[in-house]
């Protein structure tokens, strides 16, 4: 079997010791266990190489016999390096073809590793570009791009190890930029705001668009972008408003500023200009309304004056000038109202409508409880109203005068009425009529009671009369109850109605029914 056939069938993959050492990161701690593991792996690799090399050597010697020369023994000391000796043994035993195979495998491994680093970098860069990194990355983005280009060149030149390192550096910069995206977002929002304040709508739109690449859901960026799209139109309207303002055309200026605010409610410049011109217009209208209000007040058109002052107050709610004017209107209205109520009270008094007069005086006192004519009128009306009601009460129910208490009260009412001066026609007539009724109620009527001299007779409200055949009584008009009692007989009860002016009134009362 030829050497090529042997090599094609018995290919041995050798991992160079150097690659193993390269995979041990210097930052990791290595204890005894880790060191023993490394030595064991090296020993296994060395033994494999020795066996392979021995086979190759035997095959070679069978085809090419060589002379063997004795070599003196070498003393091995404890200070010698076993790893170094193993590497020398491996290197001396390995054939050129085997070393070439090892180098090829190493190159393939490094290429694969470089490809992985390239893939990681490209993925991270794509994510960074998706959030606008090229727009806000600045010099770091440029440096990262240069590193990636250098890595690509090294990869094409098959310097895979160097390409991996460059890609790792570039990836580190991509990650660093990604971590700064929030910082970039805030910077873009501020730069956009500054561009809007300068009236540069295109720059502001660009800044906010990039900001939305970083944070598509950022509400401030969305709102600001909409404002930025209109900022140039807003600026033109503000400039137009300023020109109108300088020319004294305040309504036209206000319209321009109002349109600017409609486009961009957040525009501070438009808001300030609108408020300023609105204030100037309001001042003019305020003065006109105040003048109209005082003119109406002078002409005693109080409602028109109040309306003008109230409208003026809508322009200056805290104006002391308006408050003073409204106070004057209120005072004038108050005086007019008091005078009207006074006239109403006097008219009611003439008609002896004391309740209406009292109501008018009370209304005056609600306006000002210190007005003397109203205080006096209230007391006078109350007294007249009370006497009027009492007179009317007994005139409507004269039968009540049969009661002693009501009769006495009616006499008192007449006395009080007599003291009233001057008396009106109505009260004079009331007093005269009640006086007649009282006199009638006071005049007694002669009543004759008849009995059998066996029956005890009693008259309620009068007293016991005893036994008799006849008895005369003088009773005031009214209704009386007469009761008769007799031992062994049923009681007798009669009701006797005595009317004023009645004559020859007789009542017979006897107990005749035995029990």
From 209, 277, 268, 205, select the one nearest 240 (Cα to Cα): 277
Question: Is the predicted pLDDT of residue 284 greater than 50, yes or no?
Answer: yes
418-446: average pLDDT: 88
pLDDT digits (tens, 9 = 90+) for 55-102: 434 444 444 444 433 434 434 343 444 444 444 443 444 445 544 555
pLDDT digits (tens, 9 = 90+) for 185-235: 999 899 888 888 777 888 888 888 889 888 898 888 888 888 888 888 888
Provide the pLDDT confidence category of residue 364 given band limits of 50, 70 and 90: very high
pLDDT digits (tens, 9 = 90+) for 233-249: 888 898 999 999 889 88
Q: What is the DSSP string of 69-109?
A: ------PPPTTS-HHHHHHHHHHHHS-HHHHHHHHHHHHHH
CATH fold of 198-286: 1.25.40
Question: Is the predicted pLDDT of residue 478 greater than 60, yes or no?
Answer: yes
Domain ranges in the chain are 3-66+81-94, 104-179, 198-286, 294-368, 444-515
- Which range among 14-28, 70-84, 136-150, 263-277 shows the weakest confidence by mean pLDDT? 14-28
- Which range among 19-23, 106-110, 287-291, 461-465 shows the weakest confidence by mean pLDDT? 19-23
145-154: average pLDDT: 93
Indicate the pTM of the whole model.
0.39
Question: Is the predicted pLDDT of residue 13 greater than 90, yes or no?
Answer: no
Which CATH number is 444-515 given?
Answer: 2.60.40.1120
Residues of the chain above pLDDT 70, percent: 80
463-466 sheet: strands from edge to edge: 463-466, 456-459, 478-485, 492-498
**Res 107: pLDDT:** 82
Residues 6+ positions from 455 with CB-CB distance below 8 Å: 467, 484, 485, 486, 489, 492, 509, 510, 511
**Res 401: pLDDT:** 85
Question: Is the predicted pLDDT of residue 19 greater than 50, yes or no?
Answer: no
């Amino acid at each position: 079997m030829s050497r090529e056939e042997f090599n094609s069938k018995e290919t041995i993959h050798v991992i160079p010791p150097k690659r193993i050492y390269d995979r041990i990161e210097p930052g990791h701690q290595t204890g005894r266990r880790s060191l023993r593991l490394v030595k064991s792996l090296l020993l296994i690799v060395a033994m494999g190489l020795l066996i392979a090399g021995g086979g190759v050597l035997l095959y070679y010697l069978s085809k090419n016999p060589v002379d063997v020369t004795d070599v003196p023994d070498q003393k091995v000391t404890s200070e010698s390096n076993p790893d170094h000796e193993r590497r020398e043994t491996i290197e001396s035993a390995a054939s050129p073809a085997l070393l070439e195979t090892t180098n090829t495998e190493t190159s393939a491994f490094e290429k694969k590793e470089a490809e992985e680093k390239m893939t990681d970098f490209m993925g991270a860069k794509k994510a960074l570009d998706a959030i606008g990194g090229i727009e806000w990355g600045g010099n770091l983005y440029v440096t990262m791009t240069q590193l990636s280009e250098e890595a690509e060149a090294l990869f094409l030149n098959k310097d895979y190890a160097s390409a991996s390192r460059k890609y790792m550096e570039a990836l580190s910069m991509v990650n660093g930029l990604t971590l700064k995206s929030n910082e970039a977002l805030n910077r873009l929002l501020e730069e956009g705001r500054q561009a809007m304040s300068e009236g540069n709508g295109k720059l502001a739109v660009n800044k906010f668009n990039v900001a939305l690449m970083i944070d598509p859901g950022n509400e401030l960026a969305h709102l600001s972008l909409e404002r930025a799209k209109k900022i140039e139109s807003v600026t033109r309207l503000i400039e137009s408003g300023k020109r109108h303002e300088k020319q004294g055309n305040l309504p036209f200026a206000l319209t321009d500023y109002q349109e600017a605010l409609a486009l961009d409610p957040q525009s501070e410049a438009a808001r300030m200009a609108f408020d300023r011109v609105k204030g100037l217009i309001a001042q003019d209208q305020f003065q006109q309304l105040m003048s109209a209000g005082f003119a109406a007040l002078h002409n005693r058109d109080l409602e028109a004056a109040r309306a003008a002052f109230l409208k003026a107050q809508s322009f200056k709610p805290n104006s002391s000038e308006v408050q003073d004017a409204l106070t004057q209107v209120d005072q004038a209205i108050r005086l007019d109202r008091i005078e009207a109520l006074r006239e109403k009270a006097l008219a009611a008094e003439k008609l002896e409508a004391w309740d209406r007069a009292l109501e008018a005086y009370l209304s005056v006192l609600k306006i000002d409880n210190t007005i003397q004519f109203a205080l006096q009128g209230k007391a006078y009306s109350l007294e007249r109203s009370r006497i009027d009601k009492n007179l009317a009460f007994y005139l409507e129910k004269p039968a009540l005068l049969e009661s002693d208490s009501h009769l006495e009260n009616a006499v008192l009412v007449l006395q009080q009425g007599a003291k009233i001066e001057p008396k009106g026609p109505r009260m004079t007539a009331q007093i005269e009529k009640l006086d007649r009724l009282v006199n009638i109620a006071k005049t007694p009527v002669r009543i004759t009671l008849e009995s059998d001299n066996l029956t005890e007779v009693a008259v309620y409200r009068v007293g016991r009369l005893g036994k008799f055949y006849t008895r005369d009584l003088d009773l005031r008009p009214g209704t009386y109850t007469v009761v008769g009692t007799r031992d062994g007989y049923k009681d007798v009860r009669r009701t006797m109605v005595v009317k004023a002016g009645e004559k020859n009134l007789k009542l017979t009362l006897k107990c005749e029914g035995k029990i």
